[in-house]
Amino acid sequence: MTAEIIVVTSGKGGVGKTTTSASLATGLAIAGKKVAVIDFDVGLRNLDLIMGCERRVVYDFVNVVHGEATLKQALIKDKRYETLYVLAASQTRDKDALTQEGVEKVLDGLSEEGFDYVVCDSPAGIEKGAHLAMYFADHAVVVVNPEVSSVRDSDRILGLLASKTRRAERGDSAIKQHLLLTRYNPARVAVGEMLSVKDVEDILGINVVGVIPESENVLAASNSGVPVILDENSFAGQAYSDTVARILGEERALRFLDVQKKGFFQRVFGG
Amino acid sequence: MNARMDTTDACDLRFGQVGIACVRVRRVDAAALAEELERRVRAAPQLFSRAAVVLDLSHLLDLPDDGTVDALLEAVRSAGMLPVGLAYGTSETEALSRRMGLPLIAKFRAAYEPASGGSIAPPAPAEPAPAPAPRSEPILFDAAPGNSLGAQYHDGTVRSGQQIYARDRDLVITGAVANGAEVIADGSIHIYGGLRGRAMAGAQGDTKARIYVSDFRAELVAIAGHYRVFEQIPKDLEGQSVQCWLEGEKLLIAKL
C-alpha cells in the first residue's frame, strides 16, 4: 500500500497554498485517513504556524532528509486528530538542503508507516523547492486567485506538472490535476474587477475542484493556528470541506459563488 | 533566389532552404552533451539520427579553446548526429570556425528573431569564411524536394512557458496556446483552441505560410519574420476565427 502524494502548488506566492495544505490535510484526517503534511518551504517555514504546532517542532524535514533524525522523531502529531501529522520545514536552512534522493526516502518512509495521504506544501516559484515538492506527486492541487498574474503562473505550473515530474518522465498515467480557486469575491466579480470562475476555467482549460470565497475568517484562523476548515461557521471552511469531499470522489455542487444579498440596514448605511 | 543556371556548367549551384537543428551548448561538458544527444536520438531516431546540426556556442560565457570544441564536435558525432557548422556568434566564433574548417551559419536563430528583433536579415560578417555554403538566410543547401513530412500534431493545451517547433512542416494544435507560450512552424500553423500566446509560421522564411486560429486573442503573430504584436486586440477580431497571411511585406489578418 503506497501513500497517495498530493502537491499543493501555484507558482505565485501569497495565493493560499499553505492555508490550503493545512485545510486539505485536516479534512482528509477528518475523513478518517492517515495523513502527513510536509512543509517544503525550507527557510520560510509557515505551515507549523497555521497548524498550530510551532512550539513543538524539535526535528524537521531537513534533519530527516540528512539522516540526522528519524521520521518518527520528526513527525508532529496533531492535537485535534490523531491520524494527522505535520513535518515542519527548517527555518535556518535553504532549499538546497533538500535532495531528490532524500525527499524520495522520506516519502517511501511515510508509505511504509501506513500513511494514506502525504500533502506536500510547495514553496512559491518554479525552482528547486517547488520542483521537489511536485516531482513525486500523484495529485496536484493548483491554487489560483482570480487575477491574471496568478492565472498565468498557474498555467506555467500546469505545464511543468505535465512534463517535469516522475510520472511524466516514466510515462505513467498523468498527474491528476485539481484547480482550486481561492480568495474569490463574488461582488468584485460582478462588477468586473475579478475574473469569474468561468474566465479562469476557460483560460486554463480545466475545471475547478473548489472555489474558496474571500473571508476574514481565513486570517483569523491562521493567526490562531487552527486550519480554517475547522471553522464550520465560515463559508471558507465549508468550501474547503466540499473541496476535500470532491477530491475524495464525492459529487458536490459549488457554493458561495453569488453575491450575498445585503440586509436593509447594510443597504441604507453601506457596508 | 535561385542562382543563374547554365546547362553547360559542370554543376548547378542552387539556393534552397532546409531546416536544421541547432545544438545550443549550455556548459562545456562533452560527455554530458553526448549523453543528452544520444537520448534525443534514441527518442526520435527518424528525426535526429544522422541529422545535420550546427553547434551554437554563444551561450557559453567564454568561447572554449580549439581542443574543447573538437571534443564537443566529436560528442555530437558519437551521439549519431552530423555537425556541419558553427552558429554565428562573435568575431571570435568566426575565427574559430576558420581554424576548424567549418562553415559559419550566420544568425542561425532567425526563427526566434521576429519576436524581439524584427526582420530576419542577418548581419553582414566582415569577410566570408572559407565555407562552401553562402550565408545570408538561416541556412542554405539544396532543398530536398518530395520529402513531405506531413504535419506535426499537438494534442491539448500548450501551457505558458512551453515552446513547440514543427521543423520543415505544418503544426496543428488541437487545444489552446496560453499567454507566454510559443508555437513555431516552418510551414503553416493551425490552432483549434484559443491563441493567447505567440504563433510564428514560416520560421525559415516561407512567405506562403499562414496561421489559422479558431479563437483569436494573440500576443503576437509572425509569418516569415514579419510580425504584429497586439497590445490591444482589435474588437472585430477578438475571439473570432481568423487567418493571417502575408501580402508582400504586409501581414494581414481577417475573419474566416
Q: Which residues of A touch B174 (CB under 8 A)?
A: none
B159 vs chain A: nearest CA distance in angstroms? 5
A159–B161 CB contact, under 8 Å: yes
| Three-class secondary structure of residue A211 per DSSP | strand
* Residue B143 located in a structural domain: no
A162–B159 CB contact, under 8 Å: yes
* Residue B64 located in a structural domain: yes
Whether B221 and B168 share a structural domain: yes
Q: What percent of chain B has pLDDT over 90?
A: 36
Output the CA torsion sign for A219, A220, A226, A231.
Answer: negative
Residue A20 carries which side chain, given as an amino acid letter? T
Lookup result for grid cell 459563488:
A257
Asked whether the predicted pLDDT for residue B153 surpasses 50, the reply is yes
| pLDDT tens, chain A, 271 aa long | 799 999 999 989 999 999 999 999 999 999 999 999 999 999 999 999 999 999 899 899 999 999 999 999 999 999 999 999 999 999 888 888 999 999 999 999 999 999 999 999 999 999 999 999 999 999 999 999 999 999 999 999 999 999 999 999 998 899 999 999 999 999 999 999 999 999 999 999 999 999 999 999 999 999 999 999 999 999 999 999 999 999 999 999 999 998 876 666 655 665 4
Whether B159 and B220 share a structural domain: yes
Task: Using DSSP bridges, classify how beta strands B220-223 and A208-213 pair: parallel, antiparallel or unpaired.
Answer: unpaired
Do A74 and A90 meet the contact criterion of CB atoms below 8 Å apart? no
Q: Which of B224, B190, B184 is nearest to B204 (CA)?
A: B224
pLDDT for B122: 38
Q: Which residues of A touch B159 (CB under 8 A)?
A: 155-156, 158-159, 162
User: Which of A76-80, B120-124, B184-188 is the least confident region?
Assistant: B120-124
A159–B160 CB contact, under 8 Å: yes
Q: Is B161 on the interface with A (CB under 8 A)?
A: yes
What CATH number is attached to the domain comprising B55?
3.30.70.260
Output the CA torsion sign for B155, B156, B157, B159.
Answer: negative
| Cα separation, A97 vs A90, whole angstroms | 9
Do A107 and A65 meet the contact criterion of CB atoms below 8 Å apart? no
* Residue B172 located in a structural domain: yes
Chain B nearest-CA residue for A161: B159
Q: Tell me, what's the ipTM?
A: 0.71
* Residue B164 located in a structural domain: yes
Asked whether the predicted pLDDT for residue B256 surpasses 50, the reply is yes
Q: Which residues pair with B172 in a beta bridge?
A: B153, B190
Concatenate the DSSP letters of all residues of B78-111 into one string: HTT-EEEEEE---HHHHHHHHHHT--EETTGGGG
Whether B92 and B174 share a structural domain: no
B193–A158 CB contact, under 8 Å: no
Asked whether the predicted pLDDT for residue B54 surpasses 50, the reply is yes
Tell me the pTM. Answer: 0.67
Of the residues B108, B142, B168, the one at which a domain ends: B108
Q: Which of A185, A175, A177 is nearest to A204 (CA)?
A: A177
Each residue of A1-28: b (16+ CB within 10 Å) or e? eebbbbbbbbbbeebbbbbbbbbbbbbb
* Residue B205 located in a structural domain: yes
Whether B157 and B228 share a structural domain: yes
Q: Which residues pair with B45 in a beta bridge?
A: none
Q: Which residues of A touch B194 (CB under 8 A)?
A: 202
Query: How many structural domains compose chain B?
Result: 2
Q: Which residues pair with B55 in a beta bridge?
A: B23, B86
Do B198 and B183 meet the contact criterion of CB atoms below 8 Å apart? yes
Structure confidence by residue, pLDDT tens digits, B107-116: 544 433 333 3
* Residue B54 located in a structural domain: yes
- Which residues are CB-contacts of B122 (< 8 A; sequence separation ≥ 6)? B88, B106, B107, B110, B135, B136, B137
User: Which of A98-107, A207-216, B73-82, B133-142 is the least confident region?
Assistant: B133-142
* Residue B213 located in a structural domain: yes
Considering only residues 192 to 221 of chain B, which have any Cβ-Cβ distance to chain A shorter than 8 Å? 193-194, 196
Mean of pLDDT values over B150-166: 92
Q: Which residues of B touch A153 (CB under 8 A)?
A: 160
The mean of the pLDDT values for chain B is 79
Do B141 and B171 meet the contact criterion of CB atoms below 8 Å apart? no
* Residue B140 located in a structural domain: no
| Cα separation, A20 vs B77, whole angstroms | 51
Q: Which residues of A touch B180 (CB under 8 A)?
A: 152, 155-156
Q: What percent of chain B has pLDDT over 70?
A: 78
Of the residues B56, B81, B108, the one at which a domain ends: B108
Question: Could you say which of B156, B160, B193 has the minimum Cβ distance to residue A155?
Answer: B160
Q: Which residues of A touch B182 (CB under 8 A)?
A: none
Asked whether the predicted pLDDT for residue B125 surpasses 50, the reply is no
Residue B169 carries which side chain, given as an amino acid letter? R
Output the CA torsion sign for B155, B160, B164, B170.
Answer: positive
Cell numbers of B234, please? 482589435
Question: Could you say which of A156, A162, A163 has the minimum Cβ distance to residue B160?
Answer: A156
Structural domain of B237:
152-255
Q: Is B162 on the interface with A (CB under 8 A)?
A: yes
pLDDT band at B89; cut points 50, 70, 90: low
pLDDT for B111: 39
Do B76 and B57 meet the contact criterion of CB atoms below 8 Å apart? no
Cell numbers of A266, please? 447594510
Asked whether the predicted pLDDT for residue B175 surpasses 70, the reply is yes
B179 vs chain A: nearest CA distance in angstroms? 7
Residue A237 carries which side chain, given as an amino acid letter? G
pLDDT for B61: 77
pLDDT for B131: 38
Q: Which residues of A touch B158 (CB under 8 A)?
A: 159
User: Which of A90-94, A95-99, B98-102, B142-146 is the least confident region?
Assistant: B142-146
What CATH number is attached to the domain comprising B183?
2.160.20.70
Higher pLDDT, A72 or B91: A72
| Cα separation, A132 vs A40, whole angstroms | 8
Q: How many CA atoms lie within 13 A of A64 on its CB side?
A: 29
Residue B166 carries which side chain, given as an amino acid letter? A
Question: Could you say which of A156, A202, A205 has the minimum Cβ distance to residue B175?
Answer: A205
Whether B245 and B157 share a structural domain: yes
A205–B162 CB contact, under 8 Å: no
pLDDT for A40: 97
Q: Which residues pair with B184 in a beta bridge?
A: B165, B200
